[in-house]
Amino acid sequence: MEAMNCPRCGKVFVRITASICDNCVKEEEHIFDKVRDYVKENPNKTVKEVAEDCDVTVKRVLSYIRDGRIEASGGMHGDITCSKCGKPILSGRMCEKCILETNFQVNAMKPQSKGSGFHTRK
């Protein structure tokens, strides 16, 4: 634990897990709840419209979608795309196909173990 100034409001707080103070965490959650509820109630809005109507940045709305906290609605089709192939997606950073391909490539790079690892003496 360390005492530090909150980078958002400047208040001194003891950092345990969050990098901002409890009041700012609550404010962030309030903003997130507002955006999430707005998207649910207005599924045909674009990311830009959601940002404008909720008085937040487009970057913030996109980060909620990329982090998987909210799913893009019908009006956002094409606003968020796979970072690998560019295909429209509803949440996250990559489409299912690219996730599978990336996982396959990562697994192929791992060293394969030979045998069970147990040896018997004769």
Instruction: Using a cut of 0.85, tell me whether the model's pTM lies above it.
Output: no
Mean of the per-residue pLDDT values of the chain:
87
74 backbone dihedrals φ, ψ, rounded to 5°: -55, -35
**Tokens 């950073």, residue located:** 93
d(CA 30, CA 43): 20
pLDDT at site 122: 55
